[in-house]
Structure 1
């Protein structure tokens, strides 16, 4: 008999207590009892997560697009120059291609474009503007820069081999000079001996990038066309623009730049960040701005949850008193309020992620055109593209999701503690 009782006792120990399951069920059902109140919280969480996620994707896309545009059109990953040229753009501050080419080809550099950079005056029959002439090899430069891709089919091509003294100018420059495709223009500059040179070119292509300052200040011509007038020695160049593979992380460029610096100690080797530190600084500022906006969303969300859950606790004072009277412990009441908030936060978070995904997916490919809102002000004053392609980072998604859930849980602590202070007798009388 004692053995049987002992076996029954052991079997009772193996049976799981239903308390936790009933608490979960009760908490989940409670959130749907007042659909209006729950809908307010769900809406706030959904919109908060959607806004935070979309804003982060938008800001990331804006910055990534700006950096890539600047690297692909102007900076390249790394540039090598003579130290004196970096200081004052002196035409005499050159180095010889043969001194570095073999070493670069053996390294990790995938593409290298050797350029002449000459400051001068570009003139038409109507006007004249100061520009920097880039004397390039067509094949080399098309592998390093995407300027040629910004030339519409109707506005020519990038330095064709069969053209005589071709020049590629921007749409901004063409407008200032009042010229068009196949117009004749003259480029004047002092050579290494201080003698003024005037060369006649014909417009073969008109480009347009997102950077107005770059467009207004640069033209492209063939190295072989401009070189004889410079009086430079054979194989002389001013800039070696280096690009690595598309899969090379931008964070690794600084490391690669240091490796090249260690080889060419007498030359000025700079990564894209060093050439244009403003872009690198802008990346940090954009990140801080996004974090600040998300923090504001989370703070507003937290206050909304606290207010709504506190109202829920006060409205259910009698109910909570009854639950305490029939045996529910203070800990169970606390967990029930917390679980209600967690369930609401999870449902709202999932809804927010789905909404953000549905909105982001089309804009990832088509982009968000800011021109109707801002015109060309981004291009004119900041060098930013007016079309932004949001970048979806799943790590970012997860971080924002966790932050929203954490904000929801922390916000529920005060209402839950308030529920613990309810006095059973007073609550039952109410």
Structure 2
């Protein structure tokens, strides 16, 4: 080694001192080279600059929805309303029957038959062919809300029909074959009316179970609330019929029905707009948000008018109309909210990622206490 050349140790010491002062060499400076990235995505020997690709907001491939939006149209939303109206009216009629209020009983029975007939029409219209409704009666599958709903509708419809036809008994002649019908129809109508009332809760709520059983995000996640909302909506609509049709002296059961239905409907609507996180958004925005807000306002106005209008026929009738309109807004609002959540891919992807992260956080670490030398 030449005596004029510094020792290797001195050169290394000078290099470390300069590195501490100036930092690592950057690409293109002093002929240095960029440090390579390690497996963890950081530069070796550098300042730890992140090289991973930053997260991006997911939309979908080619901008297309991930789920196929429901092909149901307005007729299914109308089916949801008319089915609930039929159920609520039959309960109203049973209350009038058991408490000796003929006007309330008559209004409930006639409305129930008209509503269940409309409900059947809307369902068959959506199916496309009447034979398809018949074919659904070939089996009874307890795990299928659609199958159970078909059987519930088939049991409720004839009972509601007999109860409504029985209201024509006083108009039949007293003698002859029709006179026999005049004697037999009232007891048959009472039995059929009670049978329809027993079936009514299932008719009112099964549509909520049906919607929650789909893959539509905002319907599926709201499975605890939808049957409650639909039950409350059915009771409120039935109460609206009683307030519209019955004199104030017979409208007591309708007022109590309105209070119970409004409580269930308002509680459920508040829950779906606040409990579901991101999936509550479709219920609070757009067409669904407007309809549900209108439904809440009409429900509150209808209950207030029903309680304040005990002696005012006009106020009772206005309250009944408000409750019926509120039921329409609520059912259509829930329908539109679910359809909107299926069309936007974020309502599918973001909750899935959140559930995956929660599951990953609940799993024990493979190298935690008690783990073997190989992480097992």
**Superposition TM-score tier, normalisation by shorter sequence:** under 0.3
Q: Which has the higher helix share?
A: 2
TM-score of the pair, normalised by structure 1: 0.25
Higher relative contact order (CA 8 A, sep 6+): 1
Q: Which has the higher strand share?
A: 1
